[in-house]
């Protein structure tokens, strides 16, 4: 999969920007606050309908304007596809080949990007909410069924929590209605557990080797943390465990007005030498571990779909030493369309630079240089 062109209208600092990307490596160079990340953010937003940098979509509209439009020309297996997203009056409209797509879950997945950005460290360092959001985003990019199931799960969870609160204040509440909610919730929870467990197992098939290639160090693992035991992984087993937990903790749940067990309490760890890197890893280790995780995702996606996702690497070089920088580029090769941002290109192998398309960005305008395509359209 490649993105051939992008057009931004009133997105962040860009009034009207048109860029043509190379199918191989693209490097966007510029000083701080010039709008490098904004370009990656626009591609990410085109793919996932929201940004990773803000929860308020309005921030994405250029100051003083009331609407942004992002349009991308995508090619998948030589078939061109036009995608667009616009935000106006707090409403988002997405289109594929100029046709409006009403359900976001039918839209997401058409453009698959893998992003590594400085914000990734917040996922490792932050609270479990951050890591659950991460799981949701990554899995829904691969499966739009997951997103539907997850939304159903969330609705039921909210209904159940509301009903628990009601039972607390209203002692003559209907417990059989709670049972219905609980049973429906459990069915969705089983699905969510399975998707997440599969995702983490898949990641672990590749993670260690990739981490070794990038860092020359051994043994990185992703560990799924749940508040039920997933070892005996059958629907029935999970159902039984959840039923027991809910039965045992009913009074506590009513008092607290919330569901205490389920995937909304999930977490994961990245483990090196049996230690959580959140606690024991250096910043560089954490960064590289997360990149390895992203590359494992690429492998999984490719294995399942035969499609190569687009790689977006924001400010990636600043944290890595020369050897790791070049390990990274060697790993990407020109097999994947990659868009990298950086302040400069110091320390990067000349051969790679010569084959890359360079975008120099200054004062809201972009100059394109070079751009030999290492390969034909994919």
Ligand X SMILES: Nc1ncnc2c1ncn2[C@@H]1O[C@H](COP(=O)(O)OP(=O)(O)O)[C@@H](O)[C@H]1O
Where on the chain is the footprint of ligand X (CB under 6 A)?
A: 12-13, 30, 32-38, 59, 61-63
Q: From Mg ion, ligand X, none, which one binds at residue 256 (CB under 5 to 8 Å depending on kind)?
A: none
Q: From ligand X, Mg ion, none, which one binds at residue 35 (CB under 5 to 8 Å depending on kind)?
A: ligand X
Q: How far apart, in whole angstroms, are the C-alpha atoms of residue 146 and residue 136?
A: 8
Among residues 115 and 164, whose Cβ is nearest to Mg ion?
115
Which pair of structure tokens corresponds to residue 83?
A: 């995608």
Q: From ligand X, Mg ion, none, which one binds at residue 281 (CB under 5 to 8 Å depending on kind)?
A: none
Among residues 207 and 340, whose Cβ is nearest to ligand X?
340
Helix (H) or strand (E) holding 289: helix 283-305
Q: How far apart, in whole angstroms, are the C-alpha atoms of residue 346 and residue 351?
A: 13
The DSSP secondary structure of 15-43, one letter per residue, reads EEEEEE--SSEEEEE--TTSSHHHHHHHH
Smallest distance from the beta carbon of 188 to Mg ion, in angstroms?
38
Smallest distance from the beta carbon of 361 to ligand X, in angstroms?
7
Q: From ligand X, Mg ion, none, which one binds at residue 131 (CB under 5 to 8 Å depending on kind)?
A: none
Among residues 22 and 37, whose Cβ is nearest to Mg ion?
37
The residue number whose beta carbon is nearest to Mg ion equals 37
Q: How far apart, in whole angstroms, are the C-alpha atoms of residue 277 and residue 97?
A: 44
Instruction: Give residues in contact with Mg ion (CB under 5 A).
Output: 37
Q: How far apart, in whole angstroms, are the C-alpha atoms of residue 296 and residue 288?
A: 12
Smallest distance from the beta carbon of 312 to ligand X, in angstroms?
12
Smallest distance from the beta carbon of 92 to ligand X, in angstroms?
16
Smallest distance from the beta carbon of 267 to ligand X, in angstroms?
30
Smallest distance from the beta carbon of 14 to Mg ion, in angstroms?
14
Smallest distance from the beta carbon of 314 to Mg ion, in angstroms?
6
Q: How far apart, in whole angstroms, are the C-alpha atoms of residue 355 and residue 22?
A: 10
Q: From ligand X, Mg ion, none, which one binds at residue 13 (CB under 5 to 8 Å depending on kind)?
A: ligand X
Among residues 31 and 244, whose Cβ is nearest to ligand X?
31
CA dihedral in degrees (99, 145, 4, 202; nearest 10)? 180
Contacts 24+ apart (CB under 8 A), 31-36: 31/343, 31/362, 32/343, 34/361, 34/362, 34/363, 34/364, 35/361, 35/364, 36/314, 36/315, 36/341, 36/342, 36/361
Among residues 35 and 309, whose Cβ is nearest to ligand X?
35
Smallest distance from the beta carbon of 74 to ligand X, in angstroms?
22
Among residues 39 and 270, whose Cβ is nearest to ligand X?
39
**CA count, 13 A, side-chain hemisphere, 282:** 6
CA dihedral in degrees (171, 176, 178, 184; nearest 10)? 180
Residue in 83, 135, 88, 73 with CA at minimum distance from that of residue 109: 83
Among residues 135 and 339, whose Cβ is nearest to Mg ion?
339
Q: From ligand X, Mg ion, none, which one binds at residue 263 (CB under 5 to 8 Å depending on kind)?
A: none
Q: How far apart, in whole angstroms, are the C-alpha atoms of residue 52 and residue 353?
A: 28
Among residues 10 and 226, whose Cβ is nearest to ligand X?
10
CA 319 to chain centre: 21
């Amino acid at each position: 999969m490649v993105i051939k062109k992008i057009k931004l209208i009133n997105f962040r600092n860009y009034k009207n920007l048109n860029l043509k990307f190379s199918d191989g490596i693209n490097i966007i160079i510029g000083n701080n606050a010039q709008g490098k990340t904004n370009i990656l953010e626009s591609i990410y937003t085109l793919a996932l309908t929201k940004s990773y940098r803000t929860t308020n979509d309005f921030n994405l509209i250029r100051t003083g304007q009331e609407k942004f439009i992002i349009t991308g020309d995508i090619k998948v297996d030589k078939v061109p596809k036009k995608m667009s997203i616009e935000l106006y009056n707090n409403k988002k409209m997405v289109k594929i080949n100029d046709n409006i797509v009403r359900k976001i879950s039918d839209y997401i997945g058409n453009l698959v990007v893998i992003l590594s950005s400085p914000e990734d460290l917040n996922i490792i360092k932050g609270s479990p909410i951050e890591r659950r959001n991460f799981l949701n985003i990554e899995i829904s990019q691969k499966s739009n069924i997951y997103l539907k199931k997850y939304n159903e799960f969330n609705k039921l969870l909210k209904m159940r929590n509301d009903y628990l609160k009601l039972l607390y204040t209203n002692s003559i509440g209907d417990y059989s209605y709670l049972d219905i909610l609980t049973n429906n919730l459990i069915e969705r929870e089983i699905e969510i557990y399975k998707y997440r467990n599969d995702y983490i197992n898949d990641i672990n098939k590749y993670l260690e080797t990739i981490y070794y290639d990038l860092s020359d160090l051994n043994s990185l693992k992703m560990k799924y943390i749940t508040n039920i035991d997933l070892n005996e992984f059958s629907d029935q087993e999970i159902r039984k465990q959840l039923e027991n937990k809910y039965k045992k903790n009913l009074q506590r749940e009513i008092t607290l007005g919330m569901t205490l067990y389920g995937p909304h309490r999930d977490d994961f760890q990245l483990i090196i030498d049996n230690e959580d890197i959140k606690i024991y890893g250096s910043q560089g280790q954490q960064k590289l571990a997360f990149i390895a995780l992203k590359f494992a995702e690429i492998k999984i996606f490719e294995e399942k779909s035969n499609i190569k996702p687009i790689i977006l690497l924001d400010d990636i070089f600043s944290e890595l030493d020369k050897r790791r920088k070049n390990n990274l580029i060697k790993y990407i090769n020109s097999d994947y369309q990659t868009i990298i941002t950086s302040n400069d290109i110091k320390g990067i192998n000349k051969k790679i630079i010569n084959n890359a398309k360079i975008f120099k960005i200054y004062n809201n305008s972009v100059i394109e240089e070079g751009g030999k395509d290492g390969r034909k359209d994919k």
